[in-house]
């Protein structure tokens, strides 16, 4: 007599159940996953299920005699994945990724300590498999899975799909754009589960490997010609003006230019920055050029002078590429390089990408004392962050290149009452209303930081570069924003709102002769600008930006969505605007730049997708790749 559909599933249900519960226990005991609500706990609990049901369900397609062997193989394999993650996590506080598996430098650290990392209790990870084998031996009747009808199989996989989409749906509600933006491995594991996360990682990896393999290397000749043709001579007076000095970069979270020199109820929003600008070179037409990778995109622009990608975060998708980033260049010039940011190190895949870019040290959350009192919103408050960072800064060899990334002025712009130094704005957008007090708070934190730098004796020997990372107020708040600006937010205004502050402060120079620069520029220009100030030539670099101080600098900046800005025009959403009036004008005016805008983004994408810099050794194509030697040096 054949079993009913349900009792046929007995054995499969049992094995799935065991692995499911085991995975959840591992989540709770071996990983440090932050759970903030009952819903998040629920998602974490159900997230291993869809994958397990799916892989075990594949047993239906096998001959009966092979099914049990398959079930055991899957159990062993998934347990091994869990085990590998547990051991890896113990050491790196992070989940495995495919590139990491092949990144020998990481593994080198593990090396001899592997035996120490292994705990006897890890063997418990395999206990359910022993149970399953025992059942097979002792209760073969229970463990036999009879053949399923086509209809039964179909229903089963429909249920599996439903479980998967239910999980994904809940995850998307918790974290919109989870898969397209790929924020953080912890968030992925928390929302879609370890197993689905690994599949996702494999898909990402194979996609970029395929694009890399198919890269048309000859196109690099054209790209290099374009870059060389657009190269600008550095400014004679400023080239090398900060030679050998420390570089302190401040990436200001979500800080747009519209807050500079503005007030709320008569109070300045950024009193310190307003003063500091008066002792610095300030750029009031400087644009962020980030895409979905937000802060990480701005970091990518800063260190590579390449554009981030149109979709996804390049920090995640192409962390295995060859780059010629500022930290690497500076290392050759005797610099020590670091990033200081009090967040989870795997956020934006930073821990991996920073290695690729050549940073010596990443001071991340575990390098800071973070507790309930000194945190708000996304984590450590900026004031605390800077205060605690001074010791890290002092511990570094000089000269250094150190990037600080602030956090408090991040959506949803939360702040303790005692930290509110100005009023909220009044409009129908709570987001915009709250934005001003957090910007004000950040301003205070920067002020405090500069004081600390002086006290630590680090100020005089450093140059300080401050820039906003990306917008903080999205187009969803246009009505409220219009109220603040006193004019309607048209597509033209929206582009103008992509301006972020850019300040270059060179003690002994800019305080004596501050200057306002109103030429159009963007984050793509940071790298050559900084390197030239330090007296390092970028003549042989593959980069799309140019030195903002160069007399030859072209007034042209393209945003990641293809919009562009020149001295006279703004082009966005297929419309050309007169920059001085904001009026729509004939498309012909913008036409001369349209091709260039497309070309820049396209060439940069070709470099990233094709990993083309692996063929370039800084002065010429490597000959063993069969490339012509372009530059005879």
Residue 609 dihedral angles phi and psi, to the nearest 5°:
-65, -35
Q: How far is the CB of 145 from ligand GP9 (least distance, A)?
A: 47
Q: How far is the CB of 295 from ligand GP9 (least distance, A)?
A: 3
Q: Which one, 368 or 577, has the nearer CB to ligand GP9?
A: 368
Tokens for 189, please give them: 């594991």
Name the DSSP class of 621: B
Q: Which one, 215 or 313, has the nearer CB to Mn ion?
A: 313
Catalytic residue among 15, 270, 290, 295: 295
**With CB cut-offs between 5 and 8 Å by kind, which of Mn ion, ligand GP9, none does residue 347 bind?**
ligand GP9
Q: Which one, 272 or 348, has the nearer CB to ligand GP9?
A: 348
Q: How far is the CB of 181 from ligand GP9 (least distance, A)?
A: 9
Q: Which of 313, 321, 310 has the alpha carbon at shortest distance from 295?
A: 313
Q: Please tell me the chain's helix, strand, coil percentages from 3-state DSSP, rounded to the nearest 5.
A: 50, 10, 35
Residue nearest to ligand GP9 as judged by C-beta position? 294
Q: How many CB atoms lie within 10 A of CB 495?
A: 22
Residue 315 dihedral angles phi and psi, to the nearest 5°:
-60, -30
Tokens for 524, please give them: 């793509």
For ligand GP9, which residue of 23, 68, 182, 295 counts as binding (CB under 6 A)? 295
**Does 294 help bind ligand GP9 (rule: CB under 6 A)?**
yes
Q: Give the total of residues touching ligand GP9 (CB under 6 A).
A: 7
Q: How far is the CB of 577 from ligand GP9 (least distance, A)?
A: 28
SS3 call for 247: strand
- The pattern of x and - marking residues 397 through 426 that bind ligand GP9 according to CB under 6 A reads --------x----x----------------
Is 408 marked active-site?
no
Contacting residues for 211 by C-beta, under 8 A, at least 6 apart: 609, 610
- The pattern of x and - marking residues 333 through 362 that bind ligand GP9 according to CB under 6 A reads --------x-x---x---------------
Q: Which residue has the tokens 């012909």?
A: 588
Q: What is the dihedral of CA 519, 525, 528, 532, to 10 degrees?
A: 30
Q: How far is the CB of 284 from ligand GP9 (least distance, A)?
A: 23
Intra-chain end-to-end CA distance of the chain, in Å: 84
Cα distance between residue 105 and residue 487, in whole Å: 54
- Catalog residues that contact Mn ion under the rule CB under 5 A: 253, 294-295, 469
Bridge partners of 502?
Answer: 283, 467
**With CB cut-offs between 5 and 8 Å by kind, which of Mn ion, ligand GP9, none does residue 405 bind?**
ligand GP9
**With CB cut-offs between 5 and 8 Å by kind, which of ligand GP9, Mn ion, none does residue 604 bind?**
none
Cα distance between residue 145 and residue 60, in whole Å: 8
Q: How far is the CB of 253 from ligand GP9 (least distance, A)?
A: 6
Q: Which residue has the tokens 């000859």?
A: 218
- The vertex-407 CA angle with 37 and 410, nearest 5°, equals 65
Q: Which one, 128 or 253, has the nearer CB to ligand GP9?
A: 253
**With CB cut-offs between 5 and 8 Å by kind, which of Mn ion, ligand GP9, none does residue 343 bind?**
ligand GP9
Cα distance between residue 564 and residue 557, in whole Å: 6
Q: Which one, 11 or 183, has the nearer CB to ligand GP9?
A: 183
SS3 call for 414: coil
Q: How far is the CB of 251 from ligand GP9 (least distance, A)?
A: 8
**Does 376 help bind ligand GP9 (rule: CB under 6 A)?**
no
**Does 566 help bind ligand GP9 (rule: CB under 6 A)?**
no
Q: Which one, 281 or 368, has the nearer CB to ligand GP9?
A: 368
Cα distance between residue 345 and residue 284, in whole Å: 32
Q: Which one, 281 or 315, has the nearer CB to Mn ion?
A: 315
Q: Which of 568, 577, 506, 498 has the alpha carbon at shortest distance from 535?
A: 506
Q: How far is the CB of 597 from ligand GP9 (least distance, A)?
A: 24
Q: Which residue has the tokens 């390049």?
A: 314
Q: Which of 563, 426, 421 has the alpha carbon at shortest distance from 499?
A: 563
Is 615 within 8 Å of 621 (Cβ atoms)?
yes
**With CB cut-offs between 5 and 8 Å by kind, which of ligand GP9, Mn ion, none does residue 181 bind?**
none
Q: Which of 52, 62, 212 has the alpha carbon at shortest distance from 128?
A: 52
Q: Which one, 245 or 341, has the nearer CB to ligand GP9?
A: 341
- Annotated active-site positions, please? 295
**Residues at the interface with ligand GP9 (CB under 6 A):** 294-295, 341, 343, 347, 405, 410
């Amino acid at each position: 007599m054949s079993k009913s559909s349900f009792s046929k599933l007995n054995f499969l249900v049992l094995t799935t159940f065991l692995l499911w519960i085991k995975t959840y226990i591992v989540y709770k005991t071996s990983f440090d996953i932050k759970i903030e609500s009952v819903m998040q706990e629920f998602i974490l609990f159900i997230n291993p299920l869809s994958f397990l049901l799916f892989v075990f369900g594949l047993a239906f397609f096998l001959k009966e005699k092979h099914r049990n062997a398959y079930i055991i193989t899957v159990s062993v394999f998934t347990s091994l994945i869990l085990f590998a993650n547990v051991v890896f996590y113990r050491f790196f506080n992070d989940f495995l990724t495919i590139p990491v598996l092949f990144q020998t430098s990481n593994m080198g650290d593990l090396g001899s300590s592997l035996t120490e990392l292994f705990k006897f209790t890890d063997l418990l990870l395999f206990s359910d498999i022993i149970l399953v084998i025992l059942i097979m031996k002792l209760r073969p009747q229970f463990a036999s899975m009879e053949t399923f009808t086509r209809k039964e199989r179909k229903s089963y996989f429909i249920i599996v799909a439903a479980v998967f989409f239910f999980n994904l749906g809940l995850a998307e509600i918790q974290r919109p754009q989870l898969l397209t933006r790929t924020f953080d491995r912890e968030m992925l594991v928390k929302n879609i589960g370890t197993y689905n996360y690994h599949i996702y990682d494999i898909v990402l990896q194979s996609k970029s490997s395929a694009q890399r393999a198919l890269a048309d290397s000859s196109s690099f000749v054209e790209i290099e010609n374009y870059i060389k043709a657009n190269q600008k001579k550095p400014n004679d007076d400023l080239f090398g003006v900060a030679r050998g000095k420390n570089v302190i970069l401040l990436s200001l979270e979500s800080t747009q230019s519209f807050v500079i020199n503005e007030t709320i109820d008569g109070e300045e929003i950024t009193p310190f920055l307003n003063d500091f600008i008066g002792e610095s070179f300030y750029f009031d037409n400087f644009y962020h050029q980030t895409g979905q990778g937000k802060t990480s995109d701005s970091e990518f622009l800063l260190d590579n002078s390449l554009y981030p990608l149109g979709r996804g975060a390049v920090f995640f998708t192409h962390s295995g590429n060859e780059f010629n980033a500022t930290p690497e260049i500076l290392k050759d010039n005797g610099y020590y390089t670091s990033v200081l940011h009090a967040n989870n190190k795997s956020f934006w895949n930073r821990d991996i990408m920073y290695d690729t870019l050549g940073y010596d040290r990443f001071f991340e959350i575990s390098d800071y004392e973070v507790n309930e009192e000194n945190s708000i919103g996304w984590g450590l408050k900026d004031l605390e962050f800077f205060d605690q960072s001074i010791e890290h800064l002092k511990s570094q060899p000089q000269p250094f290149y150190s990037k600080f990334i602030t956090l408090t002025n991040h959506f949803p712009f939360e702040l303790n009452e005692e930290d509110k130094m100005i009023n909220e704005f009044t409009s129908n957008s709570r987001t915009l209303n709250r934005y001003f007090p957090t910007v004000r708070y950040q301003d205070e934190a920067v002020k405090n930081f500069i004081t600390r730098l002086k006290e630590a004796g680090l100020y005089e020997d450093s140059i300080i570069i401050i820039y906003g990372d990306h917008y903080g107020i999205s187009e969803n708040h246009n009505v409220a924003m219009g109220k603040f600006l006193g004019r309607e937010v048209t597509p033209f205004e929206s582009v103008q709102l992509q301006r972020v502050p850019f300040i270059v402060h060179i003690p002994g120079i800019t305080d004596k002769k501050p200057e306002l620069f109103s030429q159009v520029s963007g984050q793509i220009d940071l790298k050559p600008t900084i390197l030239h100030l330090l007296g390092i030539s970028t003549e042989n670099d593959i980069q799309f930006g140019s030195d903002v101080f160069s007399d030859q600098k072209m007034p042209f900046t393209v945003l990641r969505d293809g919009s562009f800005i020149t001295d006279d025009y703004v082009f966005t959403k297929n419309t050309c605007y007169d920059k001085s009036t904001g009026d729509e004008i004939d498309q012909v005016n913008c036409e001369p730049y349209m091709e260039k805008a497309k070309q820049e983004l396209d060439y940069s994408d070709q470099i990233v997708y094709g990993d083309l810099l692996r063929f370039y050794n800084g002065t010429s194509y490597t000959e063993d790749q069969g490339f012509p030697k372009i530059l005879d040096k």
